[in-house]
Structure formats: structure tokens, C-alpha cells
Amino acid sequence: MIDPEMEQQYNNRANVPEHPGLLAEWAAKSAAWEAEAPRKALDIVYGDSGAEMLDLFFADAADAPVHMYIHGGYWQSNTRKSSSFVARPLVDAGVHVAVVDYALCPAVTIDEIGRQIRAALAWLWREAERFGGDPDRITVSGHSCGGQLVGTAMATDWGIFAEGLPHDLVKGGVSISGVFDLAPLVDTSINDKVGMDPQTARRNSPLFMKPATQAPLALYWGGDETDAFRWQSESMAESWGGKGAITVAEAVPGTNHFTVLTGMDNPTHPATRGILRQIGRG
């Protein structure tokens, strides 16, 4: 049964009727960046399924930091190919950037998506030196459900996930309009394809996880978003700040759930600056 209040708070496409044009803008910016990027490696397979692929955009620097970006779409839509525009200012600042895909619901579960994101980060750690990256300077960011996946990655016990991985594999995370308590989504149309029950929602909610390290977590959201998205980020900052992580929470004025991401091809965007600060470039 749909909860009308939660539906109104979390159905971003209904709340932003102009979203098709904004998604098209992301795709156009990403296509332009992919064409112009001076050094890149596209369609790299990092896992066993056909969906587990990433694109790498290389900075003109050796032993450079590595950043991974995770697209949003409530675990059921979008792709790395419409998200890579966020890499432009990071590459310009001397950072290697991976833009990652994962399988989508309902073909897979949200638990499996979390595993795939961990697998992508493990692949980057193992391969970083081969492409000129520093495996000891890996950070991650994501938008919307990508923010949830950032939290999941930062709560991962990497030694349990795979042998030989360092416990502090992720050195920092940035979320843009993330969701960290998934319980409110269970009784919304968003869950039609995701298929969470209350136990699955709780298990995949970073709000209730313990950060694996004290790595910094920065959280941003659109100033014109619903109260629910402000609450999600502020609650995550309070929760993880109380568990020892270094957290920052900041609204981006005059932006909604989509336009908050659109500006991330600009190095002055707060979230882009947050990423650069975490890797010593800001």
C-alpha cells in the first residue's frame, strides 16, 4: 500500500516535472566529456555480470588519487554513460576518475547492488598502480541511491569482503542527495521494482551501519528538495558523527534533486569542492 506522504516526499520525478530535460542535459554533457577526454579507457569489466562495467578517465599525472562516482536512479534506472560529466573538473585537478555501472532492480536485489559496488572499489584498489593511480588514495561519491551506496562502501569490512584488501580502502566519501534510512521507501511506488521488505530496508540503511574508519563523509542536498532529503543527510551526519566519522552536511541553495547534480561539472560546486578537499586538491 502506498503511503501518500512518503510518496510525495521521495518521488523526485513527480516533484520535478522538468526532469526529462535535466536527464537529457546530463547525457549531453557526459557524451561531450567522453568525446573530449584526452585519456580514457571505456567499458572495463570489473565483475562477472554484464552490468559490472566502468569507464576510467585519466588525469595527466602519475601516482594520482583515484575517485569513483556512483550514479543514482533509485537502484532501477540511469547509467554511467549519462553521469560521467562529473569527472571533468576532477580530472582537470589531477585525479583519475572511474564512473561505474551496476545491475538494476528488479533484475537483481539491492543487496547484490551493494556487493557490486564493493567489487568495483576492490578492482580499483587492485588495478590502481597499473593505470597510474595511488591505491592508498581512493575516494567515492554518489547521487541519490548512489549516496546510499557510498555509505555502504564506507561501512564495509574489507578484510571480510575479500582477502588482502586494506581495512581503510575508502579514504573519503561524498553524497549528493543521498538516502540513508530506506524504511520510508518501502511503502512508495519506488519500491515496486526494488522489492524491499522492512528487514531488507534496515539491512541496507547506512544510517544504522557503523563506519569502518574515521574517513570523512560529506553530505550535500538541494536547498529546494523536500524535507525528507534534508532529514536524510542531516540524520546521517549526526549518526556517523556520533560514531567517530568526520562529517559535513550542507544544502546547495536554489537546487532541486536533479539540478543539485547538474552543476558538478564546475569545480566551484560545493560537492565537487568537497571531493577535491578530501583528496588534497581543494
CATH at 194: 3.40.50.1820
Closest C-alpha to 114, from 186, 52, 56: 52
Q: Is 98 helix (H, G, I), strand (E, B) or coil?
A: strand
Low-confidence ranges of the chain (pLDDT < 70): 281-282
Q: Residue 244 has what pLDDT?
A: 87
Cell of 37: 577526454
Say if CB 7 and CB 188 are below 8 A apart.
Answer: yes
How many distinct structural domains can be found in the chain? 1
What is the C-alpha separation between 268 and 282, in angstroms, rounded?
10
Q: Residue 182 has what pLDDT?
A: 98
What is the C-alpha separation between 259 and 197, in angstroms, rounded?
31
What is the C-alpha separation between 58 and 90, in angstroms, rounded?
10
pLDDT in tens, 172-197: 999 999 999 999 999 999 999 999 99
- The pTM for the full model equals 0.97
Span between the terminal Cα atoms of the chain, in Å: 46
C-alpha distances in Å from residue 183, one per residue of 32, 52, 180, 266: 38, 27, 9, 34
pLDDT in tens, 205-218: 999 999 999 999 99
pLDDT in tens, 217-257: 999 999 999 999 999 999 999 999 999 888 999 999 999 99
Where helices occur in the chain by DSSP H, the ranges are 4-10, 12-15, 19-36, 88-92, 110-127, 145-154, 158-161, 191-194, 198-203, 227-241, 259-262, 270-278
Q: Residue 42 has what pLDDT?
A: 98
Question: Angle CA(165)–CA(220)–CA(64) in degrees, nearest 5?
Answer: 40
Closest C-alpha to 10, from 186, 196, 271: 186
Say if CB 263 and CB 269 are below 8 A apart.
Answer: yes
Cell of 17: 516535472
What is the C-alpha separation between 146 and 150, in angstroms, rounded?
6
Strand partners of residue 97: 57, 67
**CA Rg, the chain, in Å?**
17
Q: Residue 281 has what pLDDT?
A: 66
Cis peptide before 106 (omega within 30 of 0): yes
DSSP 14-79: HH-TTHHHHHHHHHHHHHHHHHH-SSEEEEEE-SSSTT-EEEEE--SSSSEEEEEEE--STTTS--
Q: Residue 282 has what pLDDT?
A: 57
Q: Which domain holds residue 194?
A: 4-278
